[in-house]
Amino acid sequence: MEKQIVFSGVQPSGNLTLGNYIGAIKNWIKLQDEYDCNFSVVNLHAITVPQVPANLRKNTLEVLAIYLAAGLDPEKSDIFIQSHVPEHLELSWILNSISYMGQLGRMTQYKEKSQKSEENLNAALFTYPVLMAADILIYGTDLVPVGEDQKQHLELARDLADRFNNKYSETFVVPEPLIQKEGARIMSLQDPTKKMSKSDENENGYILILDDRDTIIRKVKRAVTDSIGIVQYTDEQPGVKNLLNIYSVLTDRPVEEIVKDYEGKGYGDFKGDLAIVIADYLEPVRDRYEEIIKDKEYLESVYKTGAENARKKARKMLSKVQRKVGFIPMI
Ligand code: AMP
Ligand code: TRP
């Protein structure tokens, strides 16, 4: 039986957080043996918000190195930089032609980001989800492992696949999101009603994958909780709930068991232990990262091979799509 196909990506827009790790990357590692996996550093998406070119360059290699440090294996998966596979853009143009302005205008991420940059709203921010659909559909992807916040974009990708298939005949696989129940949405440590995000102005709100031990411990100790003072898993205690989620995902233990451990204990003990859980978890990733980021030749070989393989697959689908919409093949 042929392996099912997986695609996912993270934007190189600054340092990655524990939210990215738990919501996305961590789940990719275990898919590699069973699926035909494609993982991309989606730099084309990153320029929908202002970027300093030198930082974008640096962040792109950093995300690639984090992928590898986390356990993505170039022997098993195609790991590449999005702009090295321009077929995504060619497909995205075609998909734009069947995308409705109204539907794109309803995308939550667009609404949020456009409010932040009203003065110089760019067209790419608006069509961003169409490019994301192209990323996915061009590989005939079955499964897309992402965090909860990407669900709406996935829904659009599914709609576009269906719409194209109905209009031009069966072409695309309609992809399914793969969203883990726990950890799908890691919240800010300073405001547990907001998702943990690297664009938070308050750096105590997020933990970076590359934060050092002391920083992690400090941030966890400062995490906002409540005045109830009991470690329990309820919606009335969103801060504690979020910390319990992180604890549970990183230790692979059910929340109830952890809650039991802290019966009769206060938040101090709980946060102290959680800080160590997180620091211990991320330390080996950071150590491997330090090695990999120094080895530019290795990084280059990974992204070159990844893109070469990805392009072969992407070309096939693109040619098929071009024929269906009525473009004349040159050869
Ligand atoms: P981004 O940083 O927006 O490129 O997101 C990359 C991946 O990380 C996507 O699959 C997101 O759904 C996931 N992600 C980002 N932030 C969080 C969070 N706070 N909790 C869970 N998943 C997240
Ligand atoms: N939009 C995603 C995010 O912000 C990143 C992304 C781009 C992506 N293309 C994708 C994720 C394709 C999954 C599949 O997190």
Q: Are residues 146 and 15 in the same domain?
A: yes
Tokens of 47: 């320029």
Q: Say yes or no: CB of residue 7 within 6 Å of ligand 2.
A: yes
Domain coverage including residue 72: 5-184+296-325
Please give the distance, rounded to the nearest whole angstrom, from the Cα atom of residue 155 to the centre of ligand 2: 13
Q: Please indicate, yes or no, if residue 190 is contained in any of the structural domains.
A: no
Q: What is the pLDDT of residue 35?
A: 98
Task: Return the bridge partners of 144, or none.
Answer: 177
Residues present in the chain in total? 331
Q: Say yes or no: CB of residue 38 within 6 Å of ligand 1.
A: no
Q: What is the pLDDT of residue 331?
A: 74
Q: What is the pLDDT of residue 119?
A: 74
Atom of ligand 1 nearest to the CA of 187: 19
Q: Are residues 233 and 170 in the same domain?
A: no
Q: Are residues 131 and 272 in the same domain?
A: no
Q: Give pLDDT tens digits for 173-202.
A: 999 999 988 778 999 999 999 999 988 889
Q: What is the pLDDT of residue 120?
A: 74
Please give the distance, rounded to the nearest whole angstrom, from the Cα atom of residue 178 to the centre of ligand 1: 13
Q: What is the pLDDT of residue 288?
A: 98
Residue 324 identity (one-letter amino acid): K
Q: Are residues 23 and 171 in the same domain?
A: yes
Q: Give pLDDT tens digits for 54-66.
A: 999 999 999 999 9
- How remote is the C-alpha of 67 from its chain's centroid? 11
Count of CB atoms situated within 10 Å of the CB of 4: 16
Atom of ligand 2 nearest to the CA of 42: 7
Q: Please indicate, yes or no, if residue 27 is contained in any of the structural domains.
A: yes
Please give the distance, rounded to the nearest whole angstrom, from the Cα atom of residue 323 to the centre of ligand 1: 35
Which of 5, 6, 8 has the most ligand 2 atoms within 8 A of CB, as the residue to mutate?
Answer: 8
Q: Which ligand is nearest to the CA of 23?
A: 1
Task: Return the bridge partners of 176, or none.
Answer: 143
Q: Say yes or no: CB of residue 38 within 6 Å of ligand 2.
A: no
Active site residues: 113, 195, 198
Q: Are residues 139 and 230 in the same domain?
A: no
Task: Return the bridge partners of 9, or none.
Answer: 40
Q: Are residues 46 and 144 in the same domain?
A: yes
Q: Are 144 and 176 in contact (CB under 8 A)?
A: yes
- How remote is the C-alpha of 283 from its chain's centroid? 21
**Residue 199 backbone phi and psi in degrees, to 5:** -90, 5
For residue 157, give the CATH number of its domain.
3.40.50.620
Atom of ligand 2 nearest to the CA of 7: 14
- How remote is the C-alpha of 253 from its chain's centroid? 24
Q: Please indicate, yes or no, if residue 103 is contained in any of the structural domains.
A: yes
Tokens of 183: 């950890």
Q: What is the pLDDT of residue 108?
A: 93
Global pTM reads 0.94
**Residue 83 backbone phi and psi in degrees, to 5:** -70, -15
Please give the distance, rounded to the nearest whole angstrom, from the Cα atom of residue 69 to the centre of ligand 1: 18
Question: CA angle at residue 96 from 92 to 102, to 5 degrees?
Answer: 135
Q: Say yes or no: CB of residue 186 within 6 Å of ligand 1.
A: yes
Q: Please indicate, yes or no, if residue 96 is contained in any of the structural domains.
A: yes
Q: Are residues 246 and 112 in the same domain?
A: no
Collapse the DSSP code of 143 into the 3-class scheme (helix H, G, I; strand E, B; otherwise coil) and give the result.
strand
Q: Which residues of the chain have pLDDT under 50?
A: none
Which of 15, 20, 110 has the most ligand 1 atoms within 8 A of CB, as the residue to mutate?
Answer: 20
Ligand 2, atom 3, lies closest to the CA of 10
Q: Please indicate, yes or no, if residue 191 is contained in any of the structural domains.
A: no
Q: Are 139 and 175 in contact (CB under 8 A)?
A: no
Alpha-carbon distances of 207 from 5, 16, 55, rounded to whole Å: 31, 9, 20
Q: Say yes or no: CB of residue 135 within 6 Å of ligand 2.
A: yes
Cα(48)–Cα(76) distance, rounded to whole angstroms?
A: 31
Cα(125)–Cα(114) distance, rounded to whole angstroms?
A: 8
Q: Are residues 130 and 257 in the same domain?
A: no
Q: Are residues 50 and 163 in the same domain?
A: yes
Q: What is the pLDDT of residue 318?
A: 98
Q: Say yes or no: CB of residue 136 within 6 Å of ligand 2.
A: yes
Alpha-carbon distances of 109 from 104, 114, 201, rounded to whole Å: 10, 8, 18
Count of CB atoms situated within 10 Å of the CB of 305: 15
Ligand 1, atom 22, lies closest to the CA of 23
| Ordered alpha helix ranges (H), the chain | 18-20, 26-29, 43-46, 53-70, 87-96, 101-105, 108-116, 123-137, 151-168, 213-221, 238-251, 255-261, 267-294, 296-325
Residue 12 identity (one-letter amino acid): P
Q: Please indicate, yes or no, if residue 194 is contained in any of the structural domains.
A: no
Task: Return the bridge partners of 8, or none.
Answer: 39
Q: Please indicate, yes or no, if residue 116 is contained in any of the structural domains.
A: yes
Please give the distance, rounded to the nearest whole angstrom, from the Cα atom of residue 234 to the centre of ligand 2: 30
Domain count, the chain: 2
Q: Are residues 26 and 169 in the same domain?
A: yes
Alpha-carbon distances of 112 from 3, 119, 201, 245, 322, rounded to whole Å: 37, 14, 15, 26, 34
Q: Give pLDDT tens digits for 223-266.
A: 999 999 999 999 999 999 999 999 999 999 999 999 999 999 99
Atom of ligand 1 nearest to the CA of 145: 10
Q: Are residues 14 and 90 in the same domain?
A: yes
For residue 278, give the CATH number of its domain.
1.10.240.10
Q: Please indicate, yes or no, if residue 331 is contained in any of the structural domains.
A: no
Q: Are residues 142 and 248 in the same domain?
A: no
Beta carbons within 8 Å of 83's beta carbon, 6+ residues apart: 43, 44
